[in-house]
Amino acid sequence: MNRFWSHTARELSPYVPGEQPRGANVVKLNTNESPFGPSPLALEAMRAAAADTMRLYPDPEATELREALAAHHGVKPEQVFVGNGSDEVLAHAFVALLKQPKPLLFPDVTYSFYPVWAQLFGLACETVPLDDDMRVRVVDYRREAGSIVIANPNAPTGIALPRAEIARLLDEHPDIPVLIDEAYVDFGGESAIPLIADHANLLVVQTMSKSRALAGLRVGYALGQEGLIEALRRVKDSFNSYPLGRVAQAGAATSVRDEAYFRQSRARVVAGREAMTRELVGLGFIVLPSSANFVFARHPARGGAELAAALRERGVLVRHFNKPRTADYLRITVGTEDDTRRLIAAAADILRRNSAG
């Protein structure tokens, strides 16, 4: 605290990002990054973009990237909005669409940035509890609302809602904006993108940070009918006209076009998730059914904080959320085969010591 702080700065409870350690020899399973590198073609495009033209501002409309995304997802370029990570896209959507006179609804256990943006931008919000199996139930959203945001698959549970359930949610709330945050959808969820054509209130947000292994580039995007996209552009052009640099636009566009690499690396992550789940279950963990690049797991014999700290001592970083409904759990990102071996060896060692006394 400092006497020069604004009232807004004083009142904030900022989001706490996962640790990015500087040392090399840790197994980093705490921020849902991809264990595999980005498309080699995308890397090549980024190197080529790092040229004399960097003295010029980038295309403020990111036209090539939006065209690539539109072709990939079967929509028009005018239905695509891009930003500096999906975090920025989501933040703009909070201001442009979700801020309504009635409250914004989201699950009680979900991406912890939602309440932070709600506070920053002055949105009234209400949380809707997940059911006892940690699932979103669409019927629970039948109440007075100004807008809705749902992560699908949800984070940190990893549990996905089928597209038919999202369609039901949209049909039950035709007069308010509904945002579906699909940061993890490529790992096994059903995207709501096919519902855009028939639902003027649907905004779908995706990211290149997870399935395209470009967390370091900061590129996210939204798809929706043109009226919603126009609102996002109005906010963006009132904040930062050039959210994506030349290198980011070139790398992201090439990544979107490299379908073969995308499919292959996504399949490896899904196979790694299934293998990691089997190993964890073998150690007695209860693992929620994940459609993401992470699992949410708890062990009946040990608390989440204790397990996370003991794993950390053994050089394995996982994420722990110290809130009432999540305190028992660990969120563990799918790593390489070697990462999983080290995770499982460390967990087995911790549990052995526990049972020894």
- Could you say which of 207, 211, 277, 326 contacts ligand PLP (CB under 6 A)? 207
Left, alpha or beta for 134 (phi > 0: left; psi -120 to 50: alpha)? left
Based on the shown chain and the rule CB under 6 A, indicate whether residue 215 belongs to the binding site for ligand PLP.
Answer: yes
Based on the shown chain and the rule CB under 6 A, indicate whether residue 33 belongs to the binding site for ligand PLP.
Answer: no
CB of 355 to ligand PLP, least distance (A): 34
- Could you say which of 87, 165, 186, 190 contacts ligand PLP (CB under 6 A)? 87
Based on the shown chain and the rule CB under 6 A, indicate whether residue 155 belongs to the binding site for ligand PLP.
Answer: yes
Residue 96's SS3 state is: helix
Based on the shown chain and the rule CB under 6 A, indicate whether residue 183 belongs to the binding site for ligand PLP.
Answer: yes
Based on the shown chain and the rule CB under 6 A, indicate whether residue 32 belongs to the binding site for ligand PLP.
Answer: yes
**Maximum Cα–Cα distance across the chain:** 64
Two tokens, residue 141: 């959203």
DSSP state of 199: -
Placement of tokens 């030349």 in the chain: 246
Q: How many residues does the chain have?
A: 357
Q: Please say which residue, 182 or 279, places its beta carbon nearer to ligand PLP.
A: 182
Tell me which stretch binds ligand PLP (CB under 6 A): 68-76, 79-87, 93-101, 196-204.
79-87
Q: Please say which residue, 49 or 217, places its beta carbon nearer to ligand PLP.
A: 217
Q: Please say which residue, 5 or 239, places its beta carbon nearer to ligand PLP.
A: 239
Based on the shown chain and the rule CB under 6 A, indicate whether residue 187 belongs to the binding site for ligand PLP.
Answer: no
Based on the shown chain and the rule CB under 6 A, indicate whether residue 220 belongs to the binding site for ligand PLP.
Answer: yes
- Residue pair 106/114 in contact by the 8 Å Cβ criterion: yes
| Pattern 251-290, ligand PLP, x by CB under 6 A | ----------------------------------------
Q: Kindly determine how many residues on this chain lie close enough to bind ligand PLP according to the rule CB under 6 A.
A: 13
Q: Please say which residue, 32 or 277, places its beta carbon nearer to ligand PLP.
A: 32
* Distance between CA atoms of residues 130 and 136, nearest Å: 5
> Measured in whole angstroms, how far is the alpha carbon of residue 171 from the centre of its chain?
25
- Could you say which of 35, 58, 85, 251 contacts ligand PLP (CB under 6 A)? 85
- Residue pair 172/202 in contact by the 8 Å Cβ criterion: no
Based on the shown chain and the rule CB under 6 A, indicate whether residue 190 belongs to the binding site for ligand PLP.
Answer: no
* Distance between CA atoms of residues 198 and 117, nearest Å: 28
Based on the shown chain and the rule CB under 6 A, indicate whether residue 69 belongs to the binding site for ligand PLP.
Answer: no
- Residue pair 306/72 in contact by the 8 Å Cβ criterion: no
Q: Please say which residue, 209 or 290, places its beta carbon nearer to ligand PLP.
A: 209
- Residue pair 65/81 in contact by the 8 Å Cβ criterion: no
Q: Please say which residue, 39 or 86, places its beta carbon nearer to ligand PLP.
A: 86
Q: Please say which residue, 180 or 347, places its beta carbon nearer to ligand PLP.
A: 180
Based on the shown chain and the rule CB under 6 A, indicate whether residue 191 belongs to the binding site for ligand PLP.
Answer: no
* Distance between CA atoms of residues 301 and 195, nearest Å: 43
- Whole-angstrom CA distances from 247 to 44, 141, 214 are 10, 41, 12
Based on the shown chain and the rule CB under 6 A, indicate whether residue 186 belongs to the binding site for ligand PLP.
Answer: no
Based on the shown chain and the rule CB under 6 A, indicate whether residue 151 belongs to the binding site for ligand PLP.
Answer: yes
Tell me which stretch binds ligand PLP (CB under 6 A): 84-92, 186-194, 279-287, 325-333.
84-92
Two tokens, residue 117: 């943006």
276-303 burial, b for 16+ CB within 10 Å, e for fewer?
A: bbebbeeeebebbbbbbbbbbbbbeebe
Two tokens, residue 318: 């996982």
Two tokens, residue 241: 């006209």
Residues that bind ligand PLP (CB under 6 A): 32, 85-87, 111, 151, 155, 181, 183, 207, 209, 215, 220
